[in-house]
Amino acid sequence: MRPEERERKVVVLAIVALLAALVLIGRLVFLTVVKGPSLAQMGQSYRVRVMPIPAPRGKIYDRSGHLLVTNRPAFAAYYFSLSGPPAPDEGALLKRDLGLTPTAYARDIATFDGAPYVPVMLKADLSDTQLTHLMQDMPHLHGVFVNAIPLRDDLLGSVGGQVIGYVGPITQAELKASKDPRVTATSVVGQTGLETQYQQDLQGTDGGEEIEVNAVGQAEAVLGQTAPIPGDSLVLTIDKNLEEVTAKALAADMNALHTTYGAQAPADAGAAVVMDVHTGQILAIVSLPSYDPNAFATGISQKAYAQLSQDPAHPFIDRVIQSAVPPGSTYKMSVAMAGLLSGTITPQTTVPGNPVYWYPPYPKNWVHVNVGPTDLVKAIAQSDDVYFYEVGRRTGIDAIARMSRAFGFGQKTGIDLPGEVAGLIPTKAYYVKQNGAYYPGLNYSIAIGQGADEVTLAQLVRYVGAIATNGDLYRPYLVEKVLSPSGRTLSVTSPDLVRHIQAPAAYWQALQQGMQGVTHPGSIPGPGGTAGADFVNFPMQVAGKTGTAQVPGAGSMTFFVSYAPYNNPQIAVAVSIEGGVEGALDASVARAIYDAYFHIQDPNPPFVSPGSAPTVTTGH
C-alpha cells in the first residue's frame, strides 16, 4: 500500500473513532443528566431481600419411640429494618393487628441495629385473626413480611420442663460466641436443659427465600428458594409413662403432706429420679415446681418471665442436679462402708441402743428409748443415730470423706445436662480452712448426714445403684442415641462404668440387708424399719433408706432412696421433698413408681392420706 493511501485510512479510522466517542459521550450525558433521576429511582425501587426459612429443630423421642418434643407449623411477622422502626401510622396498624406497642418492637429492632438486611421477628404464632388483619393492612406496611415457621412443641409440657428445657431467639452475645456456621442472627437456639446440651445435634440448617422488594419494602416477586435441612433427633432413655407417673406421684405426695400437716410441712418443692442400676440410664426425672417450655417457644412476656424468675420456689432449678443439700440418714450406708473398709467395725459389731450418746456433746438419738444392742443391719433399718455416732468417732472424718468420694459424692456425676453442681464432702482440712480448727465432735453430725455435707439427688440415686450392684458406679445419662432426619442412627451412648468399688461381698450384703429392713420389718428383729408401714402387703421386696436433714433457712429436707427388686435389682429411685416431714412419707412416691415400672396391681393406695399423720420426728 502506498503511503498516501495508508495515511488516508488512518484519518478515516480516526474520524470514525471520534464519532463513536461523541455518540457514547452524548448517551452518557443523556442518561446521567436527562434520565439520571428517573433511573436512580428505578434502581432504588427494586432490591433483593433474603427471608430465612427456619429449619425445624430435631425431634425428641422417649426410649420406646413416643414423641416428646416436635415442631408445629405457625406464622410469624417479620420486619426488615431499612431506616429504623416503622413510621407512626404503621406503628398504629401493628398495635391494632398484633397488639405490639412501639416500645416492644423498637427494642427488638434495636437488638440487631446496624444490620438492615436482618429480619427481626415482631411476633410468632399469629392467630387466624391477627394473620387476617395483618394481610389486609400489608399494602400500608413497609418492610413487614409474614413467614411460615416451625414452632417448638413440647408434648410433656411442665412434666419435663427443666430436663427438656426451652428454646429462644439467639442473643448477640450467643451469636458472637457461636462457632456453628448454621447459627445466624435469626436462629432460635436451646437455652436450658437438653435443648442447649444437644444444641449442635438439634440445630438444623436454615433455608432462604430471595424476595424482590420495592422502595417501600413491599414484596414484588419471589426470585428463588433454598430448602431448609432439619436438625438431628434425640432418643432418650426416659420412659414417657414412667415420667408422667413420677410427676403425678410426687405432686400428690407434696399436696397430701401440705394438706395433712399445714404450715408444719409446706412441701413446696420436690424431686424424683429413676435410674437403671446396670447401665446408668435415667428412666424418669422430675423437679417440682416446674414450668411449661411452650411458653418460651411463642415468646414469653416480660411479666410472665418475671413471675417465674421471682417465684420463691425457683421453678427454673432442676433439683435433681442443681440442688445440693445435706443427705440426712441416706448417707449412713456410705459411713458404714467407710467403717467396714477401715476395720473400725464389722457387720457384727454391736453398739448399745441408747437414746443419748455417751461422749460430749452427748448428741441424742432420734429414737427416745433404749432399743437394745444394735448391729449394722439393725442400725441401718432403724436409722440408729447413736450407732453411727460411734462409727463416726472410730472411723474419722477423712476416711468417711474418702469413701464418700468413691461413691461419687462431692463431684459431678457427668449427667448430660447443663448446670450440674458437685456438692461438698468436708474433710479436716476443709474445717480448718473454713473455721480455723477441726473438732472431733464434728464427726457426729457428719456421720448422720448432717453438717457441711452437700449432695444432689443424682448423686444419691447412683450411690444406691452402686449398693444394689455390689459396687458398680455408673455415669447417669439421658440420651440413648442420635438420629439423622431420615432416621439413620448417627451415634449410640454406651453405659459408662465410672468405677467398681472393691469391698467384700459380706459388706455389701450387710448394707443391702439393712436397707431391706427399712421397708420390710419382718426381715430384722425388733420394732421394724423406718418405712415398714409404707410397704405393707407390697408384693415385691424393696430395699430403701429414709433420711431427714435440717437445712439452714429452708427447714426440713426429707429423702427416700431405694432399689428393687431386692433379690434382683433393676432400678433405683431417689425422692426428696423440701419442707417435708420425714423421709418415710416420701416412700409413697417410690411405691407408685415401682407399681408403674413393674406393672404391679397394688392392693393399697400409694399416697399419704390426710388424717393418717404419724408422729413428727427428725434426723432419720
**pLDDT value of residue 136:** 87
What local confidence, expressed as pLDDT, does residue 617 receive?
A: 34
Report the helix count and the strand count for the chain, using DSSP H and E: 21, 19
Reduce the DSSP state of residue 42 to 3 states and report it. helix
| Ranges of the chain with pLDDT below 50 | 9-14, 16, 20, 23, 29-31, 34, 39-45, 114, 608-619
Asked whether 489 and 430 are in contact (CB, 8 A), the reply is no
pLDDT in tens, 503-532: 999 999 999 999 999 998 666 665 668 888
- Whole-number pLDDT of residue 405: 98
For 502: left if phi > 0, alpha if psi spans -120 to 50, otherwise beta; the answer is beta
Residue linked to cell 500500500: 1
Which pLDDT value is given to residue 389? Answer: 95
Going from the C-alpha of 227 to that of each of 199, 206, 512, the distances in angstroms are 21, 8, 58
pLDDT at 578: 92
Write out the E strands in 54-180. Answer: 60-61, 67-80, 119-123, 144-154, 167-169
Angle at 39 between CA 36 and CA 41, to 5 degrees: 110
Domains in the chain and their CATH numbers? 52-236 (3.90.1310.10), 240-299+316-597 (3.40.710.10)
